[in-house]
Amino acid sequence: MLNIMKPVSYYNVEYLPNSTLKEKFERNINWMLSLTPDQLLYNYRKNAGLDTKGTTPLTVWESPDFFFRGHFTGHYLSGASKTFVELTNTDEKDPQAVELKNRVDLIVTGLKEVQDKLSETSEFPGYLAAEPEKRFDNLEKLRFNGNHYVPYYAIQKLMDGLMDAYQYTGNQTALQLVKNLTSYVEKRMAKLTPERISAMLDTRWYQGSGQYIFHQEFGAMHRTLLRLYELTGKKEQDVFDLAEKFDRKWFRDMLINNQDKLGYYSMHSNTELVCAEGMLEYYHVTGDDQYKKGVENYMDWMHTGHELPTKGISGRSAYPAPADYGSELYDYPEMFFKHLSKLNGESCCSHDLNYLSSELFADTKDPVLMNDYEIRFINAIMAQQNNDSAIAEYLYNLSVAPNSVKHYDRGGFWCCVGSGTERHSTLVDGIYYQDNDDIYVAQYFDSILNLKDQGVKVTQDAHYPDQHFAHITVETEQPKDFTIYVRVPKWSAETTITVDGKAVKVQPENGFVAIKRNWSKKSEITINFDFQLRYQVLADRFNRIAIYYGPILLAAQKADLPASTVSAKEYLNDLEKVEGKNQFRLKGSDIIFKSLPEIPGETPYNVFVKVPEEPVAKTIDTQNDGAQFGHQWTLAVDPDKKNYLKITYSALDDDIYSFQIEDDDQVLFTQTMTKEEWPEDSYYIYPLPQSVTKGRDKLNIKIEPLDYESLNFDVADIDKIETMVATK
């Protein structure tokens, strides 16, 4: 049964004046206003052979010869349209809102001219893109050479942008353009067999066949088409049927059956993340509960096995090139030590994870989603935008090695510049939810909830998390009975709540405290949180920790952070609070720990601290290299606890080794090692899935060379192999 709770719409949430969110929102507006409609139309007009108005084109990913061109225009339409709504919430004649609406209209008019022109020569009417149709021809012929593999990605962003222009600014032409383009895609896809469509949309970069398969990224086509189906009153069955063609059975089954093979397939993180969004949208449209369950499984995989300290995702895969290029990919669950690099936590993923968390929370009320949302918002999303401009960060440097830096650049018009421009127009998402008359306060960021039709106004103004409390003012035009649910963060051990100065018993149910009463005129809720230092041990390297202060991830603003000679607990005791700030100084040094948003671009920092190994697990079985037995071992495990493999390797003779670690022919892990990246202390730890060890006291481990691209990989020499069991 579909849940009736919904995220509060853009029409009912405002930015609090002089707040951090308001500043970032305004910075984003200035960035959007620095671009012109002619620039955003340049590649579309050029593709149609129309006059480009003497405009200088945008750069890099939006340059006239790059295969991603056109995507940013869609993001811009979404950002401008949603910003228009949020500005007119407080002033219907806001001059920036008027200007943005005018720009949206100009872009839509220009796109109509392009679609009309392209329809004169295209195979089917309705084509609208910044690239020629041959990009789709090549895709359908499975020709992926030349990197031209993302035409659907670009048009999906445009379709969403046009639907936002229709939904939020009332531009009717925008909706017609989407309908025309959808009709074009429908006719293209009708020519293809189901087998060809399946091959065309297969994004598994490694499939165990020994051949590297590099397919395309098609964005959120499944979700976008289902959105169009809903937007047009669920009357267009052909649109629904077209959406179904982007619903890949192997991916759907993987999620529904709770089999996390994202790392095994070396999959691209955000490609699959937005496919999970499509599954949730399918649940919203049809009520098919299996789809929702699949998305719940996916988000649990992220929470338990893929999220970085920022709660973002993506990094290196377990494979050699070309299936790995150093960033944006999944690794096996809990395998972080090699996954972490200078190119982690793609910003698109953080935005999309929070969108999916918000939508799924409305369906499930699972507080874990909102706890992760909070940490991701504070540490990843709030750090994406440079504090001096709207320049966006693409990837975060979360390397376990010292000397990380942030690099800001908007001139590249990367995917993260597009998603960052769009999502910085909606920073008040995910704060409030409505369940009939009841209100859920899921986040504590400065904002104003104005339910005009119900005569209820909720204001947050505590400047959280700079301050360690939330201050919520509830105003009603008439006395009204309803419940306000406030979230108690998992990290806050001792939380106190008062309403109009009177204490409320803090007994959270499912992560929230219910405050039910007859709200009359004006009341004030104060929630005091227990900010404490805590640390998190890296799942596969017990001598690395990340440090948090409440929800804030702390990074040492230092190029070369010395390793600690004392335990993690003692190290935290040596951190002295900087007065008036959420910062800490390491005792006896000039090393300051602060949040990622506070660290300027190009300034060295370290997220991980090297400490003496934490007693996370103890060894229960040790054997020798086993080479004379074909790299096979039978090793003890504990069926009731968390288990680990630990393999200590000899020095490498060759430049690269790549192999798979199996249990009874089931691949557990893929390992690639090079001389340049020889593992610290010569070992890797492999956290074993509990599904593998449950009900068993032994594993039959075998290591096989990777069958890949006809390359002759070898197994690295092994000194010893151990199984370990968690101590807690």
Cβ pair 314, 345 in contact under 8 A: yes
Question: What confidence score (pLDDT) does residue 395 get?
Answer: 72
CATH 2.60.120.260 maps onto the chain at 617-726
pLDDT of residue 187: 98
Name the DSSP letter for residue 452. Answer: G
User: Which of 8-12, 74-78, 319-323 is the least confident region?
Assistant: 319-323
What CA–CA distance (Å, rounded) separates 477 from 522? 9
Q: What is the pLDDT of residue 407?
A: 59
Q: What confidence tens digit (pLDDT) does each residue in 570-608 have?
A: 999 999 999 999 999 999 999 999 999 999 877 889 999
The proportion of the chain whose per-residue pLDDT surpasses 90, expressed as a percent, equals 83
* Confidence label for 403 from pLDDT (cuts 50, 70 and 90): low
Q: Cis before residue 600, ω within 30 degrees of 0?
A: no
The chain-wide mean pLDDT, for the chain, equals: 94
Q: What pLDDT shows up at residue 654?
A: 74
For residue 156, count other CB atoms closer than 10 A to its CB. 25
**CB-based contacts of 28, cutoff 8 Å, min separation 6:** 79, 83, 385, 390, 421, 424, 425
Q: Give me the pLDDT at residue 2, please.
A: 66
Taking the mean position of all CA atoms in its chain, how far away is CA 18?
Answer: 28
Query: Quick one: pLDDT at residue 516?
Result: 98
pLDDT in tens, 420-451: 999 999 999 999 999 999 999 999 999 999 99
316-330, 389-403, 536-550, 707-721: which range is least confident on average? Answer: 389-403
Rounded to an integer, the average pLDDT of 649-666 is 90
Where along the chain do the CATH 2.60.40 domains lie? 432-467+469-528
- Determine the pLDDT at residue 432: 99
- pLDDT, position 143: 80
Q: Is 496 exposed, middle or buried (0-12, 13-18, 19+ CB in 10 A)?
A: middle
pLDDT in tens, 115-155: 999 999 998 999 999 999 999 998 999 887 655 579 999 99
Q: What is the pLDDT of residue 397?
A: 77
Q: Is the pLDDT of residue 390 over 60?
A: no
For position 608, what pLDDT does the model report?
A: 96
Dihedral, CA atoms, 373, 374, 378, 379, nearest 10 degrees? -60
Mean pLDDT of 344-371: 97
Residue type, 425: S
Tokens of 137: 């021809």
The pLDDT value recorded for residue 406 is: 62
Q: How confident is the model at residue 655 (pLDDT cuts 50, 70, 90)?
A: confident
**373 and 354 in contact (C-beta within 8 Å)?**
yes
Separation CA 43–CA 65 (nearest Å): 9
| Model confidence pTM above 0.95 | yes
CATH number of 432-467+469-528: 2.60.40
Instruction: Mean pLDDT check: name the lowest of 259-263, 311-315, 402-406.
Output: 402-406
* Residue 392 scores a pLDDT above 70: no
pLDDT at 307: 98
Q: Structurally, what CATH architecture does the domain formed by 617-726 represent?
A: Sandwich (2.60)
* Length reported for the chain: 728
Cβ 303 vs Cβ 373: under 8 Å: no
Q: What is the DSSP-derived secondary structure letter of residue 682? A: G
